[in-house]
Amino acid sequence: MDYADMGGKSPSPFLPLTRDGLVDRVANSLAEAILSGSLQPGDRLAESTIAKQMDLSRAPVREALRLLESSGLVDYKANRGFFVHSLSVEALEHLYELRIVIETASIRRLIASNHQEAVKALRAQLDHLHELSSTGVEMAPHVDADMQFHRLICHYSGNPRFLQVFDTTANEIKLSVIYTGRLYADPALIAQTHEPIFDKIAQGDAEGAVAAMEYHLSDARRIVTGMFRKNQESKQK
């Protein structure tokens, strides 16, 4: 038997054996630190310091930082180095506007092509969200599951470019939620606000689903930017 060319799911008895390079591990580690809030926006990310802390040279750290830059988690200024990405209210507005464009476009393509498969996956993800809502108070898992629902929509659009655009926005959206505190007073609301979108998609009602998504994202934008503004004001004084 030839284990090399059995396309599809892992036919081999071995685990994927994730040979993540050093750079990826560094990037993941840094991303976690940023998304967990250990590092504040604007904080300097000195290469030497990080390299020393992780006990390796500056080269892989530098590459990891460049990677994070392209995913929007850090900013780079020539001859000045890397800093944890700082958000502004304007940037958030632009971000949500882009999300509306990409995710509504994804919905249209999704309904026109991959419908059956997509509905199944989205239903499963929604169920997962409902389960989560009864559990912990930790914010991160809820946000992740929320984002995953939206990501699935882009995935099942059938256009990898749509997913790519979504992914570039995803980290910044996560950042904004982390920094502004919880999105909804009750985590159970997260799952509920996605039901109307799913319903319309399941019915194959493209325009209805688009409208539901626009409403949902506009609402989220309103809440996030509102809290963001309040947060900044409280920091001023």
Residues between 66 and 95 with contacts to DNA, criterion CB under 7 A: 78-82
Instruction: Dump the DSSP string for 32-96.
Output: HHHHTTSS-TT-EE-HHHHHHHHTS-HHHHHHHHHHHHHTTSEEEETTTEEEEPPP-HHHHHHHH
Burial 165-198 (b: 16+ CB within 10 A, else e): bbeebbbbbbbbbbbbebbbeebeebbebbebbb
CB half-sphere exposure, 151, CA atoms < 13 A: 15
> Which of a copy of itself, DNA, none does residue 101 bind (CB under 5 to 8 Å by kind)?
a copy of itself
Q: How far apart are CA 192 and CA 187, in angstroms?
A: 9
Task: Kindly tell me which residue out of 28, 29, 33, 63 binds DNA, with binding defined by CB under 7 A.
Answer: 63
Closest CB 38 distance from DNA, rounded Å: 18
Minimum Å gap between C-beta 129 and a copy of itself is: 27
95 binds, among a copy of itself, DNA, none (CB under 5 to 8 A by kind): a copy of itself
Which is nearer to DNA, 58 or 216 (by Cβ)?
58
Closest distance to DNA from the beta carbon of 153 (Å)? 33
Nearer to DNA, 5 or 233 (CB): 5
Stretch of residues binding DNA (CB under 7 A), selected from 31-39, 57-65, 212-220, 227-235:
57-65
- Site residues for a copy of itself per CB under 8 A: 19, 21, 59, 63, 66, 70, 78-79, 94-95, 97-98, 101-102, 105, 109, 159-162, 165, 169
Six-digit token string for 156: 């099942």
Q: What does the longest C-alpha to C-alpha distance in the chain come to?
A: 70
Residue closer to DNA by CB (options 80, 235) is 80
Q: Beta-carbon neighbour count of residue 92 at 10 Å?
A: 20
Do the bridges between strand 44-45 and strand 74-77 make them parallel or antiparallel, or are there none, so unpaired? unpaired
Q: Which does 47 bind (CB under 5 to 8 A by kind): a copy of itself, DNA, none?
A: DNA
Binding stretches for DNA (CB under 7 A): 19, 21-23, 44-49, 56-60, 62-63, 78-82
